[in-house]
């Protein structure tokens, strides 16, 4: 007998071990990301169909649902909308029937994303359903992708601010999870939104960041998407000739991966690019290819079948709800009958239970009130903190306006008073004064614009600052044609950014140095050099003017203002000058070791 029990236990243990191994194998196959896979869609379909059979064989519900979902995603890349919807609905049934809420939330979001080209109203319905479930459960592995996909829906509807909001929320979760494979989605989505807003350089930077990661993880479908997207940015800039090579790089990859939606869209973009270049033969050639794909993908019959599947799914859900309600009513009816049977015999017990219930209810109600008060207190504290931050921001802005604009407005007032006094003897001098005041007012307005420019940005990119400096130099050239200007920028950090405070103070220091060289130094040549390395900066402003003796203490307010601005951003500021040998001004990050 003892030997029999040992054999039975060994058999049970072997079956359990085998099942665990099967489950692990099924989960590892379902974990394959369709978009990142180097396999063609035909191969992926065979793999996921076999995985579905393996999961069904051992009745592994989660594995069955995930296999259906992966089959739906793969058919989506093949542009088979009918099967995509059918398999997604099968997966949803499995997830909901077995209380697999994270998987259900994720799939509702994926269904909404997959329907974005067919029916935006239904797409938002499914997306909101998935997002609500994910937020209630705080499923971060679902929220990062769902936020990104929801941003795509907003972008397609032209709601770019909302799209950026959801893209940034998705990126924050991806970075928090350190999920490298999710970064390209966030970067590409942000790039698309910035491109539509007209910030083409920033859009391209994000697309290249996404492509670099996708090359590392061998995400061929994603690389094809990025090539097409970079081409789109150049199209938006009105550069079809530059865009065409990127579209042509995308097509062979998309064709090899059997990514039909992307092929269709890229053919359309190529047709439009050649059309803009007035190369009608090529434009017609690619338009015909686009039309063939469009007809095969968006047939009326497929649309009807998808709608029928959705109706069938929703009808089934409603029927299930009706059955559940009937079961609940039957159960309540049975409960009432039981209570009526024992009501007289257990009256005393019912009274005691009622009292206990009332006490529990009262206590719970008090607890809920306490929680509500605590929540209200937290909200109030958050509002106070927000108000304090806004107040600090207003103070910083007011100080900046006072320092940069106040003194100049005072000068204008004094000049106007003097002008009023001089009107007694009208002459050329009065006219000259009026012109001088008008010019000074223009300078004041420009400085105000510079301040507002910095206020409207959370950060200032190197490209933004360089453009601003070039605009300053262009104005200087107009006012003094005899002086030669030069700008040198060495950048080893493509994505270097200044904070708004750093950016405006660095710009003001350069502006003050250039203006001083023009007004007082009689310089023939002015050079602005900038080098960025290891996320630190070094800026040098050189002129070959008359210089001055810095030991005489007559440097004026300009140098002290530059020194103060450098201190405000915790930067090193040095000035060296010699009479008749020019002036050199150095601004750099603390502990900077850059050589120029």
pLDDT of residue 414: 62
- pLDDT tens digits for range 439-474: 666 667 666 666 666 666 667 888 888 888 888 888
Question: Which structural domain range is residue 250 located in?
Answer: 183-298
Task: Give the three-state DSSP class for 498.
Answer: strand
Do 463 and 569 sit in the same domain of this protein?
Answer: yes
Tokens of 549: 């003796």
- 3-state per-residue secondary structure call for 100-163: CHHHHHHHHHHHHHHCCCCCHHHHHHHHHHHHHHHHHHCCHHHHHHHHHHHHHHHHHCCCHHHH
Whether the CB-CB separation of 130 and 146 falls below 8 Å is answered with yes
491 and 521 fall within a common domain:
yes
Burial of 207 (0-12, 13-18, 19+ CB in 10 A): buried
- Same domain for 436 and 468: no
330: in domain: no
- pTM (predicted TM-score): 0.42
In a domain, 528, yes or no: yes
Looking at the structure, tell me whether residues 468 and 535 fall in a common domain.
yes
Nearest to residue 574, comparing CAs of 586, 584, 566?
586
Q: Does residue 157 lie within any of the structural domains? A: no
pLDDT higher for 76 or 563?
563
Kindly state whether residues 438 and 507 are assigned to the same domain.
Answer: no
Same-domain check for residues 582 and 542: yes
Q: Do 500 and 471 belong to one domain?
A: yes
Same domain, 278 and 376: no
Q: Please give the average per-residue pLDDT across 283-305, as a whole number.
A: 68
For 373, half-sphere exposure in the C-beta direction (CA atoms, 13 angstrom radius) is 6
Residue 490 covered by a domain = yes
Q: 584 CB contacts (<8 Å, ≥6 apart)?
A: 540, 541, 542, 575, 576, 577
Total structural domains within the chain: 3
In a domain, residue 168? The reply is: no
- Are residues 465 and 550 both part of a single domain? yes
* Rounded to 5°, angle at Cα 127 from 123 and 131: 175
Backbone angles phi and psi of 147, in degrees to 5: -60, -45
CATH number, position 250: 1.25.40.10
* Angstrom distance (rounded) from CA 483 to CA 571: 29
Listed residues 271, 298, 325: the one ending a domain: 298
Same domain, 290 and 362: no
Residues 367-376, mean pLDDT to the nearest whole number: 78
Q: What is the DSSP letter of 591?
A: T
**Relative orientation angle of helices 260-276 and 220-236, to the nearest 10 degrees:** 20
Residue pair 497/454 in contact by the 8 Å Cβ criterion:
no
Share above pLDDT 70 across residues of the chain, in percent, rounded to a whole number: 73
**What does the longest C-alpha to C-alpha distance in the chain come to?**
130
In a domain, 205, yes or no: yes
Domain-embedded: residue 265: yes
**Residue 435 pLDDT grade (very low, low, confident, very high; cuts 50, 70, 90):** low
Residue 172 in this model has a pLDDT that exceeds 60: yes
pLDDT tens digits for range 398-409: 556 555 565 665
Tokens representing 514?
């250039």
The CATH code of the domain that includes 507 is 3.30.565.10
Helices 101-114/81-97 angle, 10° precision: 160
User: Do 424 and 462 have their domain in common?
Assistant: no
Question: Is the same domain home to 285 and 369?
Answer: no
| Domain boundary, last residue among 298, 314, 340 | 298
Bridge partners of residue 533, in order along the sequence? 536
| Domain contains 393 | yes
Beta bridge partners of residue 584, listed in sequence order: 542, 576
* Residue 41 main-chain phi, psi, to 5 deg: -65, -35
């Amino acid at each position: 007998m003892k030997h029999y029990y040992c054999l039975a236990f060994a058999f049970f243990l072997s079956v359990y071990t085998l099942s665990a191994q099967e489950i692990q194998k099924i989960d590892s196959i379902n974990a394959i990301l369709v978009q990142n896979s180097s396999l063609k869609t035909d191969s992926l379909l065979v793999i996921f169909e076999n995985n579905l059979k393996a999961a069904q064989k051992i009745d592994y519900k989660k594995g069955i649902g995930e296999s259906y979902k992966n089959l739906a995603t793969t058919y989506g890349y093949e542009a088979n909308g009918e099967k995509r919807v059918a398999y997604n609905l099968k997966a949803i049934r499995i997830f909901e029937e077995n209380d697999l809420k994270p998987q259900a939330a994720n799939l509702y979001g994926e269904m909404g994303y997959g329907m974005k080209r067919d029916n935006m109203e239904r797409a938002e319905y499914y997306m909101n359903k998935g997002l609500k479930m994910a937020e209630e459960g705080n499923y971060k592995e679902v929220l990062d992708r769902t936020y990104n996909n929801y941003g795509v829906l907003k972008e397609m509807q032209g709601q770019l601010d909302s799209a950026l909001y959801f893209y940034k929320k998705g990126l924050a979760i991806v970075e928090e999870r350190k999920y490298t494979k999710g970064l390209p989605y966030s970067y590409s989505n942000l790039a698309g939104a910035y491109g539509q807003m007209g910030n083409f350089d920033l859009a391209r930077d994000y697309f290249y960041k996404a492509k670099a990661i996708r090359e590392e993880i061998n995400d061929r479908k994603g690389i094809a998407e990025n090539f097409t997207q970079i081409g789109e940015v150049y199209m938006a800039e009105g550069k079809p000739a530059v865009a065409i090579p990127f579209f042509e790089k995308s097509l062979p990859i998309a064709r090899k991966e059997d990514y039909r939606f992307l092929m269709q869209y890229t053919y359309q973009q190529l047709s439009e690019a050649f059309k803009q270049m007035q190369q009608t033969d090529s434009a017609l050639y690619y338009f015909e290819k686009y039309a063939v794909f469009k007809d095969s993908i968006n047939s009326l019959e497929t649309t009807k079948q998808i709608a029928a599947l959705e109706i069938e799914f929703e009808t089934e859900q409603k029927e299930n709800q009706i059955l559940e309600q009937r079961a609940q009513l039957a159960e309540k009816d049975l409960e009432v009958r039981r209570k009526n049977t024992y009501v007289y015999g257990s009256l005393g017990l019912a009274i005691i239970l009622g009292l206990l219930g009332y006490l529990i209810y009262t206590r719970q109600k008090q607890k809920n009130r306490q929680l509500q008060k605590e929540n209200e207190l937290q909200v109030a504290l958050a509002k106070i903190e927000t108000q304090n931050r806004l107040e600090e921001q207003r103070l910083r802005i007011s100080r900046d306006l006072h320092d940069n604009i106040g003194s100049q407005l005072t000068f204008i007032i004094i000049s106007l008073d003097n002008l009023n006094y001089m009107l007694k003897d009208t002459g050329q001098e009065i006219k000259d004064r009026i012109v001088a005041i008008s010019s000074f007012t223009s300078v004041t307005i420009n400085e105000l614009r510079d301040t507002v420019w910095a206020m409207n940005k959370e950060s200032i990119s190197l490209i933004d600052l360089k453009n601003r400096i070039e605009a300053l130099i262009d104005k200087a050239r107009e006012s003094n044609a005899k002086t030669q200007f030069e700008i040198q920028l060495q950048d080893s950090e493509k994505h270097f950014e200044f904070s708004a405070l750093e950016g405006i103070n660095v710009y003001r220091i350069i502006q003050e140095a250039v203006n001083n060289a023009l007004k007082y130094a009689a310089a023939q040549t002015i050079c602005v050099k900038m080098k960025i390395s290891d996320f630190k900066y070094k800026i040098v402003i050189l002129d070959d003017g008359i210089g001055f003796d810095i030991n005489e203490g007559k440097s004026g307010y300009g140098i002290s203002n530059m020194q103060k601005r450098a201190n405000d951003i915790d930067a090193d500021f040095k000035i060296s000058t010699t009479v008749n040998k020019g002036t050199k001004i150095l601004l750099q990050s603390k502990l900077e070791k850059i050589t120029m």
